[in-house]
Amino acid sequence: MSWTRRKFIGVAASLSLSARIPAAAGRLPDAAPGYRRIAVEEAFATPELLEDWRQFLARAKDEDPAFFSLYSGLLTSPGARNLRERLNDVGRGRIRVMDRWGVDMQVLSLTAPGVQLYPPKKGAATASEINTRLAAIVAEYPDRFAGLAAVAPQAPAQAAREIERAVTVLGLRGVLINSHTRGKYLDDRDYWPIFEAAEALGVPVYLHPNTPSPQMAEPYLDYGLAGPGWGFAAETGLHAVRLILSGLLDACPGTRIILGHMGEGLPFWLHRLDSRFDLFARADRTGRVKRLRKKPGDYIRDNFLITTSGMPWPPALMLAREVMGPDRIMFAIDYPYESSREAVRAMDEAPLSREDRTKIYSQNATRLFRLPPGPGAGQVEASA
């Protein structure tokens, strides 16, 4: 038994952690791997917000059926209590899990669908409250947490102002939006001020999944398709392609968009997006596709970064590395929905060079989010 494991068992016993953390399976990660592990799509919630969503469930059955199909379990079932507690824990319990699996830092964001369920005024006000709270969490553990702001796209002008406040006043590192907002997509020009604000501040926009929008929900309701196994990627991948084809990235060429889940299918699809580009242009009702300066794949390589959240699978990682390059991939777990152990193990064991592994685990995130260099950062450079 390694020293790290003995130490963990001792700590767990003294803190009665065994009820909250699944039994150890597989080996613990190397405690001193020579690189930091920064996970960039890590979810939290507040008990008040979860209660608020519970109230919305009755109406959601008609208004937002995919949300209802996935979230009624998460919000009400006794079996998901542990998950709800983990979402709400942004202190020592979460840090113990990070320590156990060798995760140095989590970049936190409000869990989906964030404030995007609400009418504009309430959405904007809730986003501000959450961002202030998130800044306080980060201030308490500045070397373990950083944060991405929540905004309410349904109030675009306020959202743009809130991004500025979140970055310049609160020190948050970017913004995270959970795909569609009550069926509206961000390629609509009404929402471009959000991207203009992020571009001007030099911060990225994380386009996180949401359950399929009301207008595409119906075929996802059978078989439980609305969630992470399929519907999230279908919804968010569609959203990303809409953004690319809308001309947004010609208007705001400095925009950086992050996609989780190994790019929501786009790296795999990249060749076909380009090879059938003429058909997009021919069938386009908006007339915008013809005016694009580049092909879809060029925007994906120039403006997008992807993360490994929920995809602890080396074959997908190696394909993404091949088509996106090692500078455009970041490590993420999707805590607490996904296993930290699986995420770390897949990254530790993927057939990557030490240089690429270091980029994906920490260097790309440190650069993109302008995170403070962690302890041993100089050492990594020296030993790389």
- Residue numbers at the binding site for Mn ion (CB under 5 A): 41, 334
Residue number with CB closer to Mn ion (41 or 356): 41
Q: Rounded to an integer, what is the distance from CA 15 to the centroid of its chain? A: 30
Among the listed residues 101, 171, 82, 97, the one whose alpha carbon sits nearest the alpha carbon of residue 134? 171
Q: Provide the minimum distance between the beta carbon of 70 and Mn ion in the complex, in angstroms, as a whole number.
A: 13
Q: Provide the minimum distance between the beta carbon of 43 and Mn ion in the complex, in angstroms, as a whole number.
A: 5
Task: Give counts: helices (H), strands (E), the chain.
Answer: 20, 9
Residue number with CB closer to Mn ion (87 or 300): 87
Q: Of residues 64, 187, 334, 356, which has the active-site annotation?
A: 334
Q: Provide the minimum distance between the beta carbon of 209 and Mn ion in the complex, in angstroms, as a whole number.
A: 7
Residue number with CB closer to Mn ion (209 or 296): 209
Among the listed residues 120, 186, 177, 117, the one whose alpha carbon sits nearest the alpha carbon of residue 149? 177
The answer to whether residue 334 is catalytic is: yes
Among the listed residues 163, 164, 165, 137, the one whose alpha carbon sits nearest the alpha carbon of residue 151? 163
Q: Provide the minimum distance between the beta carbon of 41 and Mn ion in the complex, in angstroms, as a whole number.
A: 5
Residue number with CB closer to Mn ion (235 or 334): 334
Give me the helices (H) in 47-147, please.
47-63, 65-76, 81-88, 92-100, 120-140
Q: Provide the minimum distance between the beta carbon of 287 and Mn ion in the complex, in angstroms, as a whole number.
A: 35
Contact 187, 243 (CB under 8 A): yes
Which residues have CB under 8 Å from 291's CB, separation 6+? Answer: 247, 250
Residue number with CB closer to Mn ion (112 or 160): 112
Among the listed residues 70, 285, 105, the one whose alpha carbon sits nearest the alpha carbon of residue 178? 70
Catalytic residue numbers read 334
